[in-house]
Structure 1
């Protein structure tokens, strides 16, 4: 016996949470071919905007809108900073190996730092974390303005860094203001490119006639895009399931809201998927009808050309055996 569970749908409010982050990675030992000893990657909202490694020794813009920024003096300064960090990591990773009693093998030392900005609330939060071999090593507690560690091997470093009050005050200023300023600057630079993107695509999908109908929306620019269903013009609060918002490669997003209603029911009423956002000039709607549904057809479709080739191969095999 099959049970159908109807999930109560509560509209989710997705805030515009932006993240600006830089990750340094140092590798020691006989690493894999083609893997640089040091690399630095900066991301904006999970998308790479620049890249540096110890092999190319150049800072490379990874977005079209970063090309112009790469021509200013700040870009040269950032390149020199990465060269300096590269040397620091080369020295530090050997010190860490000694502390962890690692005499050989491949080991990694990483730092991940940056800040978050919530457009809806204006709240910001900085973060600064270090890891050795993928495990937590040191992190900065910005509220207490001190470094903390879960491992004994990092205690000497934590003690040294916590005694440097000048550096701690600098980091407080950076994560509280400078990092957020850079985040906003890069958001403005990328805005023109994002605004040229096509409007979101709305599709009604169904695996088979007995499956729920999914309103799939992809290509939208803002995480807090509202996707809902209406029945005869009235907002629905049940028989719906909202899936997670997922990123696309082009910095847009996609999300699905499934409608758990039997075909006999939605054929007698008008069900509509509604997509809303403050950036849209008008609400995007898709009325549920049989013609609007894209359904996975049962069975395996094999092109005629493939069938012909298969028959020829079988014929040749048969002739050879004869």
Structure 2
């Protein structure tokens, strides 16, 4: 059983030209001080719109999204109407699934993630659509076979129902391969000054104690299409290395760390090791030699070298800013081919709005 993993917007994209459009819907039941329904839209892993049941309004999160009304008059009103419909659908779906699991009260979460990817160099595209309940996969759409996959017996009823409905699979095929891609291209064009920019990081070596791993910490880079790794004698290391996730900073850039276990490395061999940072679109690597003289540590109170508190504070602030997004349903599957539940086939979208209304389970 594949499980959801709540991550603070870790989004590492392997291809240097791979763009993505993702929508995350989260419906909740009996969660204190939390909206009943939240929707977050991400383009290239940057939040560009937001809706929740408290405000009852879909709103832009980036200045460049104001451009959409020039091409699509009434865009925000239509998006709001779609999400208000999904809010009601999610409320009913939670009750339906609770009955399937013989549940009564308690806290429950229903989630939906859908969207598409586009490689602007090769033209290759991909689409995904998946639904979850209480942290577990519920149902997903297989774009290749145009069928629904139900990993749990309680979802088989939904699978059969949706596969019997005429036009549903064709609708999803059209949306994921055409309409979603069209909107993704528009959004990338609107935000190109932000989404297509390049910022290089500062790279530091950190170590808590002489016996601790040495952490190579890169912060302030954009985009998040990067490689950060340790190598020895010019060869990438895979053993004794622990990779951290890519995290957001409060200023919209990213940070990442990779640890090297040096407990078995002889002092005379330290010079053979180096940390390498590679950023998509930049030909020159950032290489930092494993040198005790440049390692920042907090083990000596009077030492001029210490942990970069600015980066740490920035990371904490960034995480706090993103908590709203994470709680709002930015819940990713362990595998990269993620997805979520999806929408009505008849009237969920007419081409004038990019999100989709969720489909009832009954």
Corresponding residue for 1:262?
A: 266
Deviations 1:62-87 (A, max 9, x none): 33433444675323221111112222
CA contact (8 A) 2:223 2:253 kept: no
Q: Which runs of 5+ in 1 are unaligned?
A: 1-12, 302-322
More deviation, 139-148/112-121: 112-121
TM-align CA RMSD: 3.7
1:211–1:66 distance in 2 versus 1, CA, 3 Å: same
More deviation, 108-117/292-301: 292-301
Corresponding residue for 2:243?
A: 243
Corresponding residue for 1:252?
A: 254
Q: Which runs of 5+ in 2 are unaligned?
A: 1-12, 304-362
1:281–1:142 distance in 2 versus 1, CA, 3 Å: closer
Corresponding residue for 2:281?
A: 279
For residue 57 of structure 1, report the CA deviation from its aligned partner. Answer: 0.7
TM-score (norm 1): 0.70
Q: Distance in 1 between matches of 2:102 and 2:240?
A: 55
Deviations 1:28-61 (A, max 9, x none): 4xx2343222222223354433221222110122
For residue 198 of structure 1, report the CA deviation from its aligned partner. Answer: 4.4
- Mapping of residues 1-322 of structure 1, within 5 Å: 14-16=14-16, 18-28=19-29, 31-69=30-68, 72-73=72-73, 74-117=75-118, 123-194=124-195, 198-209=199-210, 211=212, 213-227=214-228, 235-237=234-236, 241=241, 243-249=243-249, 250-256=252-258, 258=260, 260=262, 261-266=265-270, 273-277=275-279, 279-280=281-282, 282-287=284-289, 289-298=291-300
Higher RCO structure, 1 or 2 (CA under 8 Å, sep 6+):
2
SS in 1 for 2:167: helix
CA contact (8 A) 1:272 1:285 kept: yes
Length, aligned pairs only? 283
For residue 18 of structure 1, report the CA deviation from its aligned partner. Answer: 4.6
| Structure number with bigger Rg | 1
CA contact (8 A) 1:201 1:219 kept: yes
Q: Distance in 1 between matches of 2:215 and 2:167?
A: 55
1:215–1:131 distance in 2 versus 1, CA, 3 Å: closer
SS in 2 for 1:126: strand
Q: Distance in 1 between matches of 2:273 and 2:105?
A: 64
Q: Distance in 1 between matches of 2:177 and 2:68?
A: 23
Q: Distance in 2 between matches of 1:227 and 1:110?
A: 32
TM-score (norm 2): 0.63
SS in 2 for 1:165: coil
